[in-house]
Chain A
């Protein structure tokens, strides 16, 4: 077993653990922090199913962003939708046999790679071209985009320019999942691609990538407008009533 294989196996175990445990801890902290007042941005739905619909529109269509800025919406939605297809396409490297829906998505996932890169490029361009967005951009904002773009470009490179030994890669991934290490091809583009993905997993729970779970816990979006009908007292606030 080569050093590279062992190192990458270790990297992916650690990255997966950090991603899962880190996100779980974050979500637990969101769950444990009470929302002591009703603060939905109104007009807001008055029922739970209405709230579910509102959140679905936010997650699927980026409704609020669409209202805010058509360019950011276009690039942002393009990137996220393409990323979803690309991720679905990659599921085939983690299962044998491959589910029919994953087989179906291969074609779309392959070309979505270009849309993903285009979306990222658009988002990044805004950070240079729009003076307001330039002002608020931090080094970490640029690095996140660079990271995602590099992952996309190395992926496209392996698919369209210099093929890697994908059968061996799949064997390595399946081996990781079965705790039975298989050799990883020492292809530099592949190693870069995988290292960047692991880095993305590592930074997820400690970075702005937390916007993904954050949306579901945002009181302005996930609360129903029932202030007059139902009380909404947090434990620490209830203590004031007892004084």
Chain B
């Protein structure tokens, strides 16, 4: 059994900030990557003598490479603005899950080795030596941050704990302490092309199966093309969309949108993954190399546009970083943004009147929308700031009649992470995931009680997988969660079967 028994938090009708419970989650640690996994992605296999100095040296290197880290190590005044903002603090009460305290795990070491005050008056400013005890704390608590950036919204200096967590994970990887889940997946994406490790032939089979299923459902030849050179659009989507429920329902939705719009598209076996776990471990080179697969695939297939499927962190890397990492994209059609989100793509078609819907087909669903953290706070859709909130909701309203938002303070830029983001979607962290979902579950429960909501739409593969797993812990049906394009799929009008 991966996790010892634990108690699922009780849902309360209104949010309650828990009292500090020191050490409540100190036992939560992910599996450590084996030397084989570590070496496959270019990190030392395990901790060896002298790691302390190497860790401090790596911190020095990162302080010189990332202004965010340098400024954030200095700027915090311990005001406490962030202290009640992290879903893991709200769900566990462990004070080291307060963003400020999580940052302080690194700040203590930073002060000791890189500041005057910490070198000469360590006790006064909480400076600590880099020791195994400190590393153990890092290992536990930097693997209890989903890099969702909610704290950065509220910090008066914009300190983003995600930046600190990424640096900590990068430092730990560099001395041979890596997280099994994330690093194993990075190995797979390089070796096989996607995070799930689905080889090309299996992917082809799956897509053929989907074509048959869709034919049965609609009577039409809706295609799921793979590696088709000369297509206009390359769709890069999380590999969960190929195999997992409810993800695959959205993939069917994308295919129907392409079909209805008459736009030639293709998937790629080489870039059969939108997710980029290089982000989670804070490794620029990995993030770049994983992104490069997409560029290579797009150039080999000769497409004119790149569209990204429903995936939160993937969209952050694609929207915010691709142009920097693998741009410029002057070889693609300049009339469209690169990359384009599938929701932007569908929304544009709706605006043009190119898609028709039978909204009442979704009438059995009373829908709410969960803003995925990395879409909400680390990216955008459309041309207006905040388009990432408007566009998915407008799509839902175009394809369904019954929609209710969750309470303000739990949506838009203040949205709560699902509890499984940032490289934590692994069963060895199940207790953390269940407890971290508490604030979202409470907000959901309120619209369930008030409006009878029975479906929570979202646009992230991790959110979908995480909620499928944790909804039952809170007494909800796991099929309550699904994609926005799952709703599109249900309502879209494809013309008469022939």
* B104 contact set on A, CB distance < 8 A: 136
B284 neighbours in A (Cβ, 8 Å):
36-37, 237, 240
Indicate with 1 or 0, residue by residue over A37-81, a CB within 8 angstroms of chain B CB atoms: 111011111100000000000100010110111001000100000
**A227 interface contact, C-beta 8 A:** yes
Contacts of B17 in A (CB 8 A): 132
| A136 touching B80, Cβ below 8 Å | yes
Chain B residues within an 8 Å CB radius of A240: 284-285, 288
Asked if residues A214 and B71 are in contact (CB atoms below 8 Å), the reply is yes
Complex interface bits, A192-225 against B, C-beta within 8 A gives 1, otherwise 0 = 0000000000010011101100110111110001
Give the most central of B79, B160, B323: most A CB within 10 Å.
B79
B266: interface (CB < 8 Å): no
Q: How far is the CA of A220 from the CA of B161 in the complex (A)?
A: 11
Q: Are B78 and A137 in contact (CB under 8 A)?
A: yes
CB-defined contacts of A208 to chain B, threshold 8 Å: 74-78
Whether A141 sits at the interface, judged by CB under 8 Å, is yes
B323 with A228: CB separation less than 8 A: yes
Q: Is the CB of A211 within 8 A of B76?
A: yes
Report B249-290 residues with CB < 8 Å from chain A CB: 284-285, 288
Q: Whole-angstrom distance from the CB of A214 to the nearest CB of chain B?
A: 3
- How far, in angstroms, from A67 to B77 measured CA to CA in the complex? 17
Return chain B residues, CB-CB under 8 Å to A140: 117, 124-126
**In the complex, are the beta carbons of B65 and A36 less than 8 A apart?**
yes
The segment out of A2-10, A27-35, A97-105, A182-190 that lies at the interface is A27-35
> Which candidate, B46-54, B146-154, B474-482, is the interface stretch facing chain A?
B146-154
- B398 CB to closest chain A CB (Å) equals 22
A139 adjacent to B79 (CB under 8 Å): no
Whether the Cβ atoms of B156 and A234 lie closer than 8 Å is no
User: What residues of B have a CB within 8 angstroms of the CB of A65 in the complex?
Assistant: 79, 81, 154, 156
Task: Say yes or no: is B357 at the interface (Cβ < 8 Å to chain A).
Answer: no
Contact present for A218 and B70 (CB under 8 Å): no
- Which residues of the other chain, A, contact B70 by a CB distance below 8 angstroms? 29-30, 33
* B98 interfacial contact with A, CB 8 Å: yes
Name the CB-closest residue of A to B376: A42
- B388 and A64 contacting across the interface, CB-CB below 8 Å: no
Q: Which residues of B sit under 8 angstroms from A228, Cβ to Cβ?
A: 319, 323, 337-339
B19's nearest neighbour on chain A, judged by CB, is A131
Contact of A43 among B67, B82, B386 (CB under 8 A): B386
A220 B78 Cβ-Cβ under 8 A: no
Tell whether A231 pairs with B68 under 8 Å between CB atoms, given A42-B385, A67-B153, A133-B83.
no
Residues of A within 8 A of B80 (CB): 69, 72, 126, 130, 132-133, 136
Q: Are B156 and A215 in contact (CB under 8 A)?
A: yes
User: A42-B413, A139-B124, A218-B71 are contacts. A227–B320 as well, Cβ < 8 Å?
Assistant: yes
State whether B68 touches A42 (Cβ < 8 A).
no
Across the interface, which residues of B come within 8 angstroms of A46, CB to CB?
385
**Contact residues, B194-235 vs A (CB, 8 A):** none
> Does B328 belong to the interface (CB within 8 Å)?
yes
Q: Are A30 and B67 in contact (CB under 8 A)?
A: yes
Q: Within 8 Å of chain B (Cβ to Cβ): is A87? A: no
**Contact residues of B between 25 and 79, Cβ < 8 Å to A:** 63-68, 70-72, 74-79
Select B154's contact among A39, A45, A67, beta carbons within 8 Å: A67
A-side contacts of B328, CB under 8 Å: 231
In the assembled complex, B137 has its CB within 8 A of some CB on chain A? no
B413 and A41 within 8 A (CB): yes
Q: For A221, give the chain B residue with the smallest CB separation.
A: B158
Q: Which of A67, A72, A232, A240 has the most B CB atoms < 10 Å from its CB?
A: A67
Cβ–Cβ contact A214 & B123, under 8 A: no
**Contact A35–B66 (Cβ < 8 Å):** yes
Please give, as numbers and ranges, the residues of chain A lying within 8 Å of B65 by CB-CB distance: 33-34, 36, 234, 236
The interface residues of chain A, by DSSP majority, are classed as helix
**B20 x A143 contact (CB < 8 A):** no
Q: Contact at A39–B157, with CB atoms within 8 Å?
A: no
Check: B433 CB closer than 8 A to any chain A CB. no
- Most chain A CB within a 10 A radius of its CB, from B67, B104, B385: B67
Q: Does any Cβ of B come within 8 Å of A26's Cβ?
A: yes
User: Is the pair A218, B159 in contact by a Cβ cutoff of 8 Å?
Assistant: yes
Assess whether A219 is in contact with B156, with CB atoms less than 8 Å apart: no
Q: Is the CB of B157 within 8 A of A41?
A: no
The reply to whether the CB of A84 lies closer than 8 angstroms to some CB of chain B is: no
Contact pick for B84, options A35, A132, A215, A230, CB 8 Å: A132
- Given A26-B74, A132-B84, A225-B380, A220-B152 contact (CB < 8 Å): yes
A160 at the interface (CB under 8 A from B): no
- B101 in the interface (beta carbon within 8 A): yes
B321 at the interface (CB under 8 A from A): yes
Contact with A along B119-135 (1 / 0, CB 8 A): 00001111000000000
Contact call B78/A141, Cβ cutoff below 8 A: yes
Q: A33-B66, A133-B80, A143-B124 are in contact. Are A214 and B75 (CB under 8 A)?
A: yes
What residues of B have a CB within 8 angstroms of the CB of A220 in the complex? 68, 149, 152, 158-160
Q: Which of B67, B82, B117, B377 is within 8 Å of A206, CB to CB?
A: B117
B385 touching A34, Cβ below 8 Å = no
Q: What residues of B have a CB within 8 angstroms of the CB of A230 in the complex? A: 323
A26 to B101, CA, bound (A): 24
Contacts of A211 in B (CB 8 A): 74-77, 156-157
Which residue, A44, A136, A214, A218, has most C-beta atoms of chain B within 10 A?
A: A136
Shortest CB–CB separation between residue A134 and chain B, in angstroms?
8
Q: List the B residue with the shortest CB-CB distance to A137.
A: B78
Are B78 and A136 closer than 8 Å at their CB atoms?
yes
Cβ-based interface call for B327 (8 A): yes
Instruction: Given A136-B98, A140-B125, A208-B78, answer yes or no on A227-B84 (Cβ-Cβ < 8 Å).
Output: no
A231 to B319, CA, bound (A): 11
A44 surroundings in chain B (CB, below 8 A): 380, 385
Is B439 engaged at the interface, CB distance under 8 Å to the other chain?
no
A166 at the binding interface (Cβ < 8 Å): no
Task: Contacts A211-B75, A218-B159, A231-B323 given; indicate if A43 touches B63 (C-beta within 8 A).
Answer: no
Which residues of A come within 8 Å of B, CB atoms?
26, 29-30, 33-39, 41-46, 58, 62, 64-65, 67-69, 72, 76, 123, 126, 130-133, 135-141, 143, 203, 206-208, 210-211, 214-215, 217-221, 225, 227-234, 236-237, 240
Besides A41-B378, A43-B386, 7 more A-B contacts (Cβ < 8 Å) are: A29-B70, A42-B388, A68-B85, A123-B79, A139-B125, A203-B117, A214-B72
Residue pairs across A and B with Cβ atoms less than 8 A apart, 30 shown, are: A29-B70, A30-B70, A33-B65, A33-B70, A36-B65, A36-B324, A37-B324, A38-B320, A41-B158, A41-B377, A43-B386, A45-B385, A65-B156, A68-B85, A69-B154, A126-B80, A130-B80, A132-B17, A132-B20, A133-B83, A135-B22, A210-B75, A211-B76, A214-B74, A215-B158, A220-B158, A220-B159, A233-B324, A236-B65, A237-B324
